Amino acid sequence: MKQADIPLNEKDRIKMLKSLDILDTFAEERFDRVTRMAKRMFNVPIALVSLVDENRQWFKSCVGLPIQEASRDISFCGHAILDDDVFIIPAASKDERFADNPMVIEAPYVEFYAGCPLTVNGYHLGTLCIVDNIARNFDSEDIAALKDLAATVELELSAVQIATHDELTGVLNRRGFLSIAHNTLSLSVRNNFPVTLAYLDLDKFKAINDNFGHASGDLVLTIFSNLLSDSFRESDIIARLGGDEFIVLLSSTSIKEAAKVIDEFEITLHSYLEQKEPSLNVSFSYGIAEFNHELHDSIEALLADADAQMYEYKHTRNKSE
């Protein structure tokens, strides 16, 4: 058996997948409708919307299998996400990559497989795939039909992405942040690790729009969010709340450690902007609050605390200028 290679963009691919906050969610008719259509259209016993996570493939929609996930190292879908084309295995028992695969020699006894990659923002997050227990051919018309069905799934996944991400910067929006951050706080309570929220507000951003136009303002927001994404850890949750307000939720980080990280980011921002032509004069005020489950009964309460700290910081600095 040959395990699938890891995609070159795996780190960013997994980040995109997790940002959708769709893993381990309940079944939804909009996805189930597609797998039912695929099962009927191709006359197969199994049809799946399969999302390839770090160590597993998880089925957002599953027709014909009694399980909801399987190990990634034996998955066919792990191979399918490596290319843009539909991945076809006409007879797995005669293919040296899969002949001794547990899914071939044991239930569900996969013999035929066809999987079309599901792409969101350029990342192959999983597949729409069909499976049969007998060898089959799959011609160009079949491929086109499977691609059409996969496009429907991609639209639904993109709708999830649009609903939870800021259109301009690509980072999470308020809705996406609140959904993911709630789980982080629950883990913090359960596993007793610190979580700190940083609330960042660009200074005098209105003046940038007024003096240089909204295109320049959009450029500043994009640069700022990109630098945030590059400067913080993959485990940190970055979002744009709206306007010129950004937040970063830092896991396993105390308030003292978070303050140091924010100061380092400020240096990075100024260093980057000094190299731009023309140079951009952009600064920010910030507030930080460490999560305390006795004081903060929700992520909204933690946000309000950090927001208050930010306004106090901004007021103090404005008085000194």
Domains of the chain: 10-162 (3.30.450.40), 174-320 (3.30.70.270)
Helix axes 10-19, 174-191, angle to 10 degrees: 100
> b/e per residue, 38-60, with b = 16+ CB within 10 A?
bbeebebebbbbbbbbeebbbbb
Question: What digits encode the pLDDT tens for the residues 63-92?
Answer: 999 999 999 999 999 999 999 999 999 999
On the CB side of 296, how many CA atoms lie within 13 Å of its CA?
23
Q: What is the pLDDT, as a whole number, of residue 123?
A: 96
Q: What is the pLDDT, as a whole number, of residue 205?
A: 84
Q: What's the maximum distance between 2 C-alpha atoms anywhere in the chain?
A: 77
Q: What is the pLDDT, as a whole number, of residue 274?
A: 79
- In the 8-state DSSP scheme, what is residue 5? P
Strand (E) or helix (H) holding 47:
strand 46-52
Amino acid at 275: Q
Q: What is the pLDDT, as a whole number, of residue 64?
A: 96
Q: What is the pLDDT, as a whole number, of residue 319?
A: 67
Q: What is the pLDDT, as a whole number, of residue 277?
A: 58
Question: What digits encode the pLDDT tens for the residues 115-148?
Answer: 999 999 899 999 999 999 999 999 999 999 999 9
Q: Which of 131, 153, 140 is nearest to 85 (CA)?
A: 140
C-alpha to C-alpha distance for 178 and 184, rounded to whole angstroms: 10
Q: What is the pLDDT, as a whole number, of residue 153?
A: 95
User: For the chain, which ranges sit under pLDDT 70?
Assistant: 277-280, 319-321
Question: Which residues have a Cβ under 8 Å from the Cβ of 84 and sit 6 or more positions away?
Answer: 117, 119, 124
C-alpha to C-alpha distance for 217 and 208, rounded to whole angstroms: 6
Q: What is the pLDDT, as a whole number, of residue 163?
A: 85
Q: What is the pLDDT, as a whole number, of residue 247?
A: 96
Q: What is the pLDDT, as a whole number, of residue 179?
A: 77
3-state SS track over 132-151: ECCCCCCCHHHHHHHHHHHH
- In the 8-state DSSP scheme, what is residue 175? H
